[in-house]
């Protein structure tokens, strides 16, 4: 079973302790994380502080390159929405046929 992610509030608590005591295996063990993870939290402190305390992550992820063909992307998005609304299967092969 996958572990529950750490909330930012708990990360900030660990960061404060790491600043005072230094990053160590023992401190990481108390927070049930790897020492490297604790280092990463300290490094990303400003992003974690700016995020909501109840959230479990801080960074804004970019999901790939910017859209080149916006009109086609929008049309495809609308098609997928209609297919899902009608409970039809959106198969990859159908998408390829549409795009060619």
The answer to the question of residue 55 being in a domain is no
Q: Would the pLDDT of 20 be above 50?
A: yes
Please state the domain count of the chain: 2
pLDDT at 17: 94
Residues 46, 79, single domain; the answer is no
pLDDT tens-digit profile of 44-85?
Answer: 898 888 887 777 765 555 677 787 888 988 888 888 888 888
The answer to the question of residue 76 being in a domain is yes
Whole domain around residue 74: which residue ranges? 70-99
The answer to the question of residue 91 being in a domain is yes
Residues 45, 75, single domain; the answer is no
Residue 19 banded pLDDT, cuts 50, 70, 90 = very high
Residues 76, 42, single domain; the answer is no
The answer to the question of residue 56 being in a domain is no
pLDDT at 62: 65
The answer to the question of residue 58 being in a domain is no
Asked if 98 and 79 touch (Cβ cutoff 8 Å), the reply is yes
Residues 46, 77, single domain; the answer is no
pLDDT at 35: 93
Q: Would the pLDDT of 2 be above 60?
A: no
Which DSSP symbol is given to 71?
Answer: H
Residues 40, 74, single domain; the answer is no
The region that residue 64 occupies, defined by phi over 0 for left and psi between -120 and 50 for alpha, beta otherwise, is: left
Return all residues near 76 (Cβ < 8 A) that are at least 6 apart: 95, 98, 99
Return all residues near 92 (Cβ < 8 A) that are at least 6 apart: none
CB atoms within 10 A of CB 85: 8
């Amino acid at each position: 079973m996958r572990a529950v992610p750490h909330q930012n509030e708990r990360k900030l608590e660990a960061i404060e302790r790491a600043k005072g005591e230094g990053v160590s295996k023992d401190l990481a063990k108390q927070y049930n994380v790897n020492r490297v993870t604790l280092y990463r939290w300290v490094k990303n402190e400003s992003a974690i502080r700016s995020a909501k305390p109840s959230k479990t992550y801080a960074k804004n992820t970019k999901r790939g390159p910017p859209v080149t063909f916006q009109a086609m992307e929008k049309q495809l998005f609308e098609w997928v929405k209609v297919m899902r609304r009608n409970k039809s299967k959106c198969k990859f092969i159908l998408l390829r046929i549409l795009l060619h």
